[in-house]
Amino acid sequence: MLHDCISDSNVVVTFQTVTPDSNFIAMFETVMPDSNVLAMFQTVTPDSNFLAIFQTVMPDSNFPAMFQTVTPDSNFVTMFQTVMPDSNFPAMFQTVTPDSNFVTMFQTVMPDSNFPAMFQTVTPDSNFVTMFQTVMPDSNFPAMFQTVTPDSNFVTMFQTVMPDSNFPAMFQTVTPDSNFVTMFQTVMPDSNFPAMFQTGMPDSNFPATFQTVMLDSNFVVTFQTVIV
């Protein structure tokens, strides 16, 4: 074990400075030549404890810190694959469904990571899907919302996927001058959101309806009153 070959302090110092541009595998194999690092991570699945695997190989390393500073502007998968080339990380998320708990799945793989914080700062001006797909290319995230129906509870579904996210706050600041549907579709392009309401409110003026009732309103309460 590396722990037996090099002091804990050196391990921490070495890996605390890992950056998206660094070649983690090369650095690791310099410390532990002939180790089969790639094989360890190529089989990572949603059920595996990635951090436990890592810390078994590299006890006391500060690996989670690499990911705790991930921001909406960073390319998480690129960073991950730079650190862990040939890993099958994207595949974990390509099968995400409305019934899955995305954060739980992520934190199983990367406990103590600050992943939800990436989404807590989403604003009406941001393109949520673009941000998500930058972070998780090839994921089927939009499809989760394209099948939303009048009978579904969108907020509940969203919060199941992304607990503790500040999604409702995006809509609590809607004003009479804003175009709710445009804002929503900027956040969630290709979603069939207007159709949800046109089924329940034929010929209604959706933006005007919400712009009237959403002034300083609690979006979740308003939304759940309309769609239960």
Residues 29-40 have pLDDT tens digits of 555 555 555 555
pLDDT band at 16 (very low <50, low <70, confident <90, very high): very low
Q: Do residues 79 and 181 share a domain?
A: no
Report the pLDDT value the prediction gives residue 88, as an integer from 0 to 100: 52
Angle between helices 128-135 and 76-83 (to 10 degrees): 0
Structure tokens at 60: 């006391």
Q: pTM of this prediction?
A: 0.26
pLDDT band at 69 (very low <50, low <70, confident <90, very high): very low
Average pLDDT over residues 186-211: 44
3-17, 78-92, 172-186 — most confident range: 78-92
pLDDT band at 206 (very low <50, low <70, confident <90, very high): very low
Report the pLDDT value the prediction gives residue 30, as an integer from 0 to 100: 56
How many domains is the chain partitioned into structurally? 2
Q: Is the pLDDT of residue 19 over 50?
A: no
DSSP state of 22: S
Tell me whether residue 100 is in a domain. no
Q: Do residues 60 and 126 share a domain?
A: no
Q: Do residues 126 and 182 share a domain?
A: yes
Q: Is the pLDDT of residue 151 over 50?
A: no
**Cα–Cα dist 84/182, whole Å:** 39
Closest Cα to residue 67, out of 78, 56, 52? 78
pLDDT band at 26 (very low <50, low <70, confident <90, very high): low
Q: Do residues 68 and 144 share a domain?
A: no
Tell me whether residue 116 is in a domain. no
Query: Containing domain of residue 51, as a range?
Result: 1-90
Q: How many CB atoms lie within 10 A of CB 65?
A: 16
Closest Cα to residue 158, out of 72, 100, 221, 217? 100
Tell me whether residue 114 is in a domain. no
Q: Is the pLDDT of residue 134 over 50?
A: yes
Q: Do residues 84 and 159 share a domain?
A: no
Q: Do residues 83 and 140 share a domain?
A: no
Tell me whether residue 104 is in a domain. no
End-to-end CA distance of the chain: 55
Helix boundaries (H) for the chain: 2-5, 8-16, 24-31, 37-42, 50-57, 63-68, 76-83, 89-94, 102-109, 115-120, 128-135, 141-146, 154-161, 167-172, 180-187, 193-200, 206-213, 219-226
Tell me whether residue 52 is in a domain. yes
Q: Do residues 79 and 161 share a domain?
A: no
- Bigger pLDDT: 228 vs 176: 176
Q: Do residues 75 and 153 share a domain?
A: no
Q: Is the pLDDT of residue 7 over 50?
A: no
